[in-house]
Amino acid sequence: MTLDRDLMQTIIARYPRSRSAIMPLLHYVQSVSGYVTNEGIETISEILGIETAEVSAVATFYTQYKRKPVGEYHVGVCTNTLCAVMGGDAIFSALKDHLGIENDGVTADGKVSLEHIECNAACDYAPVVMANWEFYDNQSVESAKSLVDGARAGNPPAPTRGPNKLVTYKEASAVLAGLDDGLAREGLQAGAPTLLGLKLSKEGK
Amino acid sequence: MSKLTPVLSAHWDEADSFTIEAYTRHGGYTASKKALAMDPDAVIQLVKDSGLRGRGGAGFPTGMKWGFIPQGDNKDHYLVVNADESEPGTCKDMPLLLANPHVLVEGCIIACHAIRAERAFIYIRGEVTHVARRMNAAIADAYKAGHLGNGIDITLHIGAGAYICGEETALLDSLEGFRGQPRLRPPFPAIAGLYARPTVVNNVESISSVPAIINNGAEWYQSMGTEKSKGATLYSLSGHVNNPGQFEAPLGITLREILELAGGVRTGHKLKFWTPGGSSTPLFTDAHLDIPLDYEGVAAAGSMLGTKALQIFDETTCIVRAVLRWTEFYKHESCGKCTPCREGTWWLVQILRDLENGTGTEADLEKLLDLCDNIMGRSFCALGDGATSPITSSIKYFHDEYIAHVTNGACPFDPVKSTLFAGAVN
Ligand SMILES: Cc1cc2nc3c(=O)[nH]c(=O)nc-3n(C[C@H](O)[C@H](O)[C@H](O)COP(=O)(O)O)c2cc1C
Ligand code: SF4
Ligand code: FES
């Protein structure tokens, strides 16, 4: 697939200074290619008028920019302390066994990749799993296995707090590039833990 | 009367709470209208009078921060909202933005007016696709409704996975298109921030608290909270409790009170240790249940209110395992700019790994404390200091448990017992 330079210019136009667009442009490259390709780095360097080494330096600093293809469904298991203790460690090791891949690995069919991730700001829903950076809350070994099995069969379950259907890694990357996919109104406004304090206060507690 | 005071969270239980229709239905965008008709200095004064303090961790008075922006300097000014939310345990800003992104948009309009900025940037961490969608749609809808685009613009910027970009000067470098590494201060962002222009950096919750203050007045806000910690705030309860979640309450509520509301520590177990405000704030134990959770109360007890991320761990949790995991996080997230943090966190992890798997020695504990001594206060930014918090506080309260790993030659805990799926009673 090819990069749309006109679209890239609209991303640049969001900012007072063009260099600020480097991060959304890298997300955009991932939305086209599934990872940060050399061609992507060269194109960004060309249109921003900076060295490729400078673009690479930025791309390698941030963990979400991948220098090799990830799966169509990129799965992250939170193994920061709270989620790890609550079951994240067990989930992560079960998924490695189940998929036969290691951390940062991709299944042979290219469908699922796996990584352990840091706290994803959802600790009241621990243990947390993310797929294409959508929330899968309160996971167990079994639910996480059905998530990856569904993903491999092209039929993943919907996120807990996200759109009605799990988008692909490339589609999610376009959202992270700031592009509108029209799905903002889908899904819950909040899960039960988010609403707990409000509910109790309405009960006079 | 309820101990809780839902203001930010008041309408989150309506299925369409994130839409502009719902926000407007509940009086949304009346505060910005009111503020835009006020003199900017009067808005700053009102926020000063309310006593609102930063909710991103440090608790700096918000109105005072706005007041540092030079006036009449003929330069562009910027507002930058910190929505990087990555401090372990912290989980308030993302659910807030998922449920009601418009309150942040309105807060940005008011803050921009106050500091004479024509543009705000909202920097959201990259690992939350649906939050990005909601925020983007809210900004677009606010433009369509004419709330934005008439002298105030908002640009959404989405990160790509780096805890350090929550540190305000690293965030600015990241937003300028560089690797996110902290800057030397001074100059402070108020003088030379984004693109070397006067810049206010505020947390999501801080800015989102402003519309209600404009509508209800400083006195109303002052009526909640304690002497120096005014207002209400989101406390995020997670971990080994029967009912985790968000609790919006006046500053100064205690963990005991929140736990009572939440149905307590998970049934059949007891509280062992907890963080008052994320992993960078020194740990507390069951001896701290009655500490008022305000800026002063928590500091007086030797920790920090931080982000009010109350992570609860019961007696099944190995303290060494917990601390090692946090330390691995700091090592991974260290930006590498300064030696004490870059090298220090690496050594901390090596020693803690030995201790956890039972091959450590008593002397290792001294080494850990020595290393912490050399990192604390000698690091370029607060990430390094934060890395030492779980270690020094856990050795203070759980020295014997570290020693038990040494004498046992192994970890005495069964990790299965700590999991959610192990059930309430083992
Ligand atoms: C390593 C590190 C990470 C931080 N992460 C965040 C964050 O995710 N969100 C945030 O608002 N503040 C974070 N802060 C604090 C910011 O530097 C800054 O104090 C804050 O955004 C100011 O906003 P406030 O005055 O409204 O609290 C972090 C600080 C450090 C040292
Ligand atoms: S303390 Fe750590 S994160 Fe902060 S500047 Fe130094 S190396 Fe970077
Ligand atoms: S520790 Fe997993 S989401 Fe916070």
How far is Cα A122 from Cα B236, in angstroms, rounded to an integer?
Answer: 10
Least Cα distance to B44 among B124, B123, B113, B135 occurs for: B113
Residue B213 has which token pair? 């203050």
Q: Is B247 on the interface with A (CB under 8 A)?
A: yes
Count of other CB atoms within 10 angstroms of residue B148: 21
Contact between A197 and B246 using a beta-carbon 8 Å cutoff: yes
Proximal ligand: closest to the CA of A121 = 3
Q: Write out pLDDT tens, residues B259-294.
A: 999 999 999 999 999 999 999 999 999 999 999 999
What pLDDT is stored for residue B424 in this prediction? 44
Q: Write out pLDDT tens, residues B92-141.
A: 999 999 999 999 999 999 999 999 999 999 999 999 999 999 999 999 99
Proximal ligand: closest to the CA of B377 = 2
The answer to whether residues B256 and B335 belong to one domain is no
**Pocket lining for ligand 3, CB < 6 angstroms:** A 78, 80, 82-83, 119-120, 122-123, 126, 128; B 88
User: Which of B23, B260, B332, B419 to probe by mutation at the A interface, max A CB count within 10 Å?
Assistant: B419
List of chain A residues whose C-beta atoms are within 8 Å of the C-beta of residue B420: 86-87, 126-127, 138, 140
The answer to whether residues B290 and B145 belong to one domain is no
Give the pairing type, strands B119-124 and B78-83.
parallel
How far is Cα B426 from Cα B173, in angstroms, rounded to an integer?
Answer: 49
Residues A168, A73 contacting (CB under 8 angstroms): yes
Confidence of residue B1 (pLDDT cuts 50, 70, 90): confident
Residues A9, A24 contacting (CB under 8 angstroms): no
DSSP state of A20: G
The answer to whether residues B150 and B270 belong to one domain is no
Domain with CATH 3.40.30.10 in chain A: 73-167
Top-level CATH class of A73-167? alpha beta
Domain with CATH 1.10.10.1590 in chain A: 1-69+168-183
The answer to whether residues B273 and B362 belong to one domain is no
How far is Cα A162 from Cα A183, in angstroms, rounded to an integer?
Answer: 9
- Which domain does B365 fall in, by range? 319-417
The answer to whether residues B133 and B214 belong to one domain is yes
CB of B344 sitting under 6 A from ligand 2 = no
List of chain B residues whose C-beta atoms are within 8 Å of the C-beta of residue A159: 130
The answer to whether residues B332 and B265 belong to one domain is no
Of residues B238, B243, B245, nearest to A82 (C-beta) = B238
Domain of B336: which CATH number?
A: 1.20.1440.230
| Cα(B238) to centroid(ligand 3), Å | 9
Q: Write out pLDDT tens, residues B325-375.
A: 999 999 999 999 999 999 999 999 999 999 999 999 999 999 999 999 999
How far is Cα A187 from Cα A169, in angstroms, rounded to an integer?
Answer: 18
Proximal ligand: closest to the CA of A76 = 3
> What's the CATH superfamily of A1-69+168-183?
NADH-quinone oxidoreductase subunit E (1.10.10.1590)
Q: Is B196 on the interface with A (CB under 8 A)?
A: no
> B399 lies in a domain?
yes
Q: Write out pLDDT tens, residues A52-99.
A: 999 999 999 999 999 999 999 999 999 999 999 999 999 999 999 999
Q: Is B346 on the interface with A (CB under 8 A)?
A: no
* The total number of structural domains that make up chain B: 3
Residues A31, A173 contacting (CB under 8 angstroms): yes
Contact between A195 and B136 using a beta-carbon 8 Å cutoff: no
